[in-house]
Chains A and B, each alone.
Chain A
Amino acid sequence: MKRIVSVLLAVMMVSTLLTGCGDSADKYPNGEVNVLNWGEYIDEDVIPEFEEEYGIKVNYKVCSDNETLYSTLSGGGSDYDVIVPSDYMISRLISEGMLEKLDFSNIPNFSDVDAKFLNPAYDATGEYSVPYMWGTVGIIYNTTMVNGDITSWSALFDKQYAGQVLMINNPRDAIGVALKYLGYSYNTTDKSQIKEATDLLIQQKEDGIVQAYVMDEIFDKMEGGEAAIGVYYAGDYLTMLENNPDLAFVVPSEGSNYFVDAMCIPKGASNKENGEKFINFMCSTDVGKDNCESIGYSSPLMSVKDALDPEISGNPVAYPSDEVLASCEQFINLPADILEFYDSEWLRLKV
């Protein structure tokens, strides 16, 4: 989901200045569509396919996380037709009236979406979003560097792994992990529980168990054997596994977070219909399969799962069983004062 290649961002910003003019109208008779996605979250080859098939120019941009996406949209001045926020951000955007309702008659491929992803908690009426990819968060560990199998979040707080643990470098995920370990909900609004979880993380840091707080730097560090244990996304684990076969992934028994990233159209998009065509295209079996194979995350489309190599679709990392999924929670949007509390607790940890 969030392969933060900030460098890419910088390149994108410059290229925004340089492009935007000079495309001949006859090559793209049906206008354009502005897409904002996460970095490395698509099979790049499907974009020219779409341009050719529909005669629509795709202006494809990436950003690093939901918070950046939110400040981009709320800052105004941006014009996107398709965005791919995660669950909790979608509920926030809906509640703040920042999304358009979709015209599903333009998205016939929507019928392929697995029923368990319909009318989700973040979009209860199902009018605003079409799921793109989903996956779980769990523990990635190096089997040659730990004793036995890891099955619980407790490994992250175990002193025998001092200096070997990589934590996610954002408040919601990191504090969330501690909340789950303590038996609370990811979405708790009880400040004393959040405080207790932060205290646990501070203890973990003071005990020298944490090696670093990382986002996409985790790829290098886990692949190179720099750390034994890390917390990250299942889809990214599959990418790391290709470079280091000693790695294993587990959704801890206490349960974890499972996220859905869904395609939405922001309020006031200037090419709404083209956006819907793009969303429909992304939901076709071939494109969905290409994307899945390229990025390693799991597709909510039934036909894509069937079309995939059984080695992938049968892999419990990519497609965990319903029991595992039942132990996982989705993030929902939290009230502003709780989000602020998260930030100040995070500062307390990192001061």
Chain B
Amino acid sequence: MKNKWLSVPYIVWMAIFVVAPLILVLIYAFTSRSGGFTVENFTTMAQYVTVFGRSFFLALIATLVCILLGYPLAYYLAREGAGMRRMATMLIMLPMWMNFLLRTYSWMSILENTGLLNTLFQKIGLFALINSVFGTNIEYFHMINTQGAIVLGMVYNFLPFMVLPIYTVIDKIDYRVIEAAQDLGANTRQVFRKVIFPLSLPGVLSGITMVFVPAVSTFAIPRLLGGGMVTMLGDLIEAQFMGSAYNPYLGSAISLVMMVVVLICMAVMNRFGEGEEGAVVL
């Protein structure tokens, strides 16, 4: 009984700040400018297919890169001693103490044509070397204002959300299971493939959720690192609420569709996880 009462503040909080806004989004999405019921907000959405496609595509790439970078790091960390782990976890968390916009803004100065990286390359003579070898005439690498820079910004900002859950799960794996596998004659690769990786899948799946979802809806990164050259979902939704046309109804409809698509992605992925390895997600 006591435990039940303890959860009341949280339930109230969720009701007011999560459930109620979601219901508002739902209502707004089916409301016309004049206040009546409409589905027009959805029927006009075909023009945004490219925007949806691009956002999901870039978020997918960022998530994949995060897995490729994050899994080995988490795996390695989980096998290290306590001191090293504390230090590494600290280093992963440290940048997150700073505001995410500030960090993204710094990446702008790093990637610019006259930015930190290109200046460094120039100072160490990289461009002179390339030019003399290939007979080219380059003065800088074009990195800023590209879709690659957008993916980089996402990976940089969301990588900790991939590393930490995987690390936690691998860390919790009962070492006796691994010993048993070894006793039964599995070599290192087999132990990893047949034991550790399947057992770490729940961590990977929640890592994917925590990276993919914010990456799909991100809006400051495309503007700062992508130079505002293309519209992504986050920008599109923001423009409905903060733009000159001020259409919160259409904005809500787009948000709703985005949420549904994300939910479908997650459901498919969870099904895949369960079917394959019996992993439980979230």
Contacts and interface: CB of A to CB of B under 8 A. Distances in A.
A343 B244 contact: yes
Given A7-B101, A226-B114, A347-B47, A339 B228 contact: no
A243 B18 CA distance: 46
Max chain B C-beta neighbours (<10 A), residue from A71, A172, A342, A343:
A343
B245 A342 contact: yes
Contact of B242 (A71, A212, A224, A344): A71
Interface of A: 6-7, 10, 65, 67-68, 70-71, 74, 169-172, 205, 210-214, 217, 220-221, 224-226, 336, 339-340, 342-344, 346-347, 350-351
Chain A contact surface mostly: helix
A10 B101 CA distance: 10
Nearest to A344: B47
Given A212-B228, A347-B47, A350-B228, A171 B113 contact: no
Contact of A220 (B48, B109, B145, B220): B109
A342 B245 CA distance: 8
Contacts of A212: 144-145, 227-229
Interface of B: 47-48, 50-51, 99, 101-102, 105, 108-109, 112-115, 144-145, 220, 223-224, 227-231, 236, 239, 241-248
Contacts of B236: 347
Contact of B243 (A7, A171, A205): A171
Nearest to A10: B99
Contacts of B108: 217, 220
B101 A6 contact: yes
A67 B99 contact: no
A130 B124 CA distance: 57
A67 B145 contact: no
A347 B223 contact: no
B246 A71 contact: yes
Which 7 residue pairs of A and B lie closest in terms of their CB atoms, listed nearest first? A212-B227, A213-B228, A343-B245, A350-B231, A169-B228, A340-B245, A339-B245
A214 B228 contact: yes
A226 B112 contact: yes
Nearest to A164: B113
B112 A67 contact: no
B229 A336 contact: no
A10 B98 CA distance: 13
B149 to A, nearest CB: 11
Contacts of B47: 344, 347
A139 B23 CA distance: 46
Contacts of B241: 71
Contacts of B99: 7, 10
Nearest to A7: B101
Contacts of B50: 351
A114 to B, nearest CB: 29
A339 B244 CA distance: 6
Nearest to A210: B229
A145 to B, nearest CB: 11
